[in-house]
Amino acid sequence: MIINESIQTDILIVGGGIAGLMAAYSISSDKNLEIMLLSDGSGASPFVHGFSLPVHSSDSVECFMEDTLKSGQWKNDEKLVALLCKESLLALDLFEKLGITFDKKENGEYTLLRPLGASVPRIVSAGNHTGAVLMRKLRDELIRRGNTKMCGWMRALRLKTDSEGIRGALVYDTRKKQYSSIEAKAVILATGGFCGIYPFSTNSSDIGGDGISMGWYAGASVKDMEFIQFEPCVAVHPTAVKGKGMVTTMFYENAVLRGNDGKRFMLEHSSAGEQVDKDILALQIYQEIQKGNQSPHGGVWFDATDVGFERLKEIYPAYLKRYEDCGMDLSKEPIEVAPAPHTSLGGIEIKPDCSTRVPGLFACGEVTGGIHGANRIGGNAGLETIVFGRIAGEAVQRYLSEKGRKEPLSLKNWEDWANSLTKTSNLSTLDINQNDLMLMRQKMEQQLSENLSVIRNERGMQHAVQVLGDMHQVLENTPLGDDTELAYQMLRLLNDLTAAKLLAKSALARTKTVGCHIRADSKENDE
């Protein structure tokens, strides 16, 4: 592999969603620090409709914590939950400082939506695209401050460490189609979740297994990888909206689900109907489809007609418009939805200050695991990016107060290291071309959708571990070669396979159904 350029900075942030931007915002107040922020798209953050904040008159930090732990089936890291909930209200100061005003009623109270799993309405928003509004303001502020270089076309592939900890990253410039090394005193991983490794998900194409894999190969630990939250209601038709989630807060506004026979099947499972946690909703929809009571395009019917046009227009105009653009009227006709992977609740294990087991490596946002436990309440992931992005930024500032820049390594040193990333044993090697990589990716996707979907069983997961492990081994033992683009595709697939393999192994190890990890062959004990 040829590395064309060597770059030095103080802090490298990988990921330009809210978590990465918040970390940069927090660090950039120190004008003496140079930050590089890499991304390859905007991730999930622009789609955040709203954030959890305990501002309802019947809500409190304690109630918020209790809901979060209960929904996570007490598999959450309690210290992280305490931070999420206690520091949540600081977000109000942030929004005020950035000039973002949340929607309010005429009497001055916040317009709050109630997410599934919350005891009270808790989601604040600024229109239907609150995440995008926040990102724009954060980017503007970073440009104004001037010490963050934002590169929206660079994909990090591996982290380099030395005996003292993190050293930097191998990065691919998707515009110039060439590699660079970036040396930094600290790295923050903010690469988002990894549901994009599934063939059909709500995630954008820049979301994959790179973050998990980079952390893993650098020596960080991962946790809760089996907890993949399926968004219960994702459009399966028409093509223009396929993969887009329908907001489940509508179930508190008279929206209901129906099988193809027109019956509200959720009432057969719970008197609360559709107003249950997302994991239960996803499971029941999945089973209804498996039973054969499915709509023409393989989903169930999401019927928002009783929400009424006026209310839809007032609270959910973006959803009305989305279907209007397809020639459909959400207030008059039901739409077809099915569950799809949405957020990964597991990921890199962090301490309360977002540090990892690797000195100088920090992580925040959806790439981390532990905050949501076995199931996540809507609105909590968005809040997590704000709270923990800031915490990561502050922790890095403290960490750097004792660190000087090191003499940069030569390009030859980086190239030798990069060439040793694969071909780690003496096993026979294969020549791999683009077509082989495409077939391997399809095989990975097939294992994920067949054996690591809403309902799992031991036999299927054992098969997935075997198939994913075999492919992983093949790639790990194939030299990267001189074809720049092919090597890039190989490393990306290897990273995605690493995340898939860790997910499959974790899922197999957890023998009992808990939260969104549902086993058809659940055992009594999951110790």
Q: Is 496 near ligand FAD (CB under 6 A)? A: no
Collect all residues with Cβ–Cβ distance below 8 Å to 447 and sequence separation of at least 6: 463, 464, 467, 468, 500, 504
Which is nearer to ligand FAD, 245 or 370 (by Cβ)?
A: 245
Q: How far is the CB of 401 from ligand FAD (least distance, A)?
A: 25
- Strand boundaries in 387-502, DSSP class E: 455-456
Give residues 140-179 in contact with ligand FAD (rule: CB under 6 A): 155-156
Q: Which of 28, 42, 71, 453 binds ligand FAD (CB under 6 A)?
A: 42
Which is nearer to ligand FAD, 110 or 265 (by Cβ)?
A: 110
- SS3 letters across 264-295: CHHHHCCCCCCCCCHHHHHHHHHHHHHHCCCC
Q: How far is the CB of 22 from ligand FAD (least distance, A)?
A: 8
Q: Is 84 near ligand FAD (CB under 6 A)? A: no
**Type of residue numbered 359:** P
Q: Token pair of 430, please?
A: 């294969």
Q: How far is the CB of 346 from ligand FAD (least distance, A)?
A: 13
Q: Which of 211, 299, 341, 370 binds ligand FAD (CB under 6 A)?
A: 211
Rg of the chain (C-alpha set) = 23
Q: Is 14 near ligand FAD (CB under 6 A)? A: yes
Q: 4 — alpha (psi -120 to 50), left (phi > 0) or beta?
A: alpha
Collect all residues with Cβ–Cβ distance below 8 Å to 135 and sequence separation of at least 6: 17, 18, 21, 42, 45, 46
Q: How far is the CB of 46 from ligand FAD (least distance, A)?
A: 8
Do strands 35-38 and 11-14 pair parallel, antiparallel, or not at all (unpaired)? parallel
- For residue 380, the number of C-alpha atoms closer than 13 Å in the C-beta half-sphere is 32
Q: Is 53 near ligand FAD (CB under 6 A)? A: no
Distances 125 to 71, 100, 108, 136, 398 between C-alpha atoms, Å: 22, 10, 14, 15, 32
46: preceding bond cis by omega (within 30 degrees) = no
Q: Is 44 near ligand FAD (CB under 6 A)? A: yes
- Binding segment for ligand FAD (CB under 6 A), chosen from 5-13, 44-52, 268-276, 510-518, is 44-52
Q: Is 346 near ligand FAD (CB under 6 A)? A: no
Q: Please name which of 231, 380, 240 lies closest in space to residue 302, comparing C-alpha atoms.
A: 231
Helical axes 434-451 vs 458-476, angle rounded to 10°: 160
Q: Is 375 near ligand FAD (CB under 6 A)? A: no
Q: Which of 366, 414, 421, 496 binds ligand FAD (CB under 6 A)?
A: 366
**Type of residue numbered 225:** M
Q: How far is the CB of 364 from ligand FAD (least distance, A)?
A: 7
Q: Which of 381, 395, 444, 461 binds ligand FAD (CB under 6 A)?
A: 381
- 169 membership: H or E segment, kind and range: strand 165-173
369 phi and psi angles, rounded to 5 deg: -125, 155
Q: How far is the CB of 14 from ligand FAD (least distance, A)?
A: 5
- Binding segment for ligand FAD (CB under 6 A), chosen from 82-90, 188-196, 456-464, 483-491, is 188-196
- Binding segment for ligand FAD (CB under 6 A), chosen from 54-62, 378-386, 425-433, 458-466, is 378-386
Q: Is 299 near ligand FAD (CB under 6 A)? A: no
- Binding segment for ligand FAD (CB under 6 A), chosen from 16-24, 71-79, 268-276, 460-468, is 16-24
Residues in contact with ligand FAD by the rule CB under 6 A: 14-20, 38-45, 47-51, 155-156, 190-192, 202-203, 206-207, 210-211, 245, 342-343, 365-366, 378-382, 385
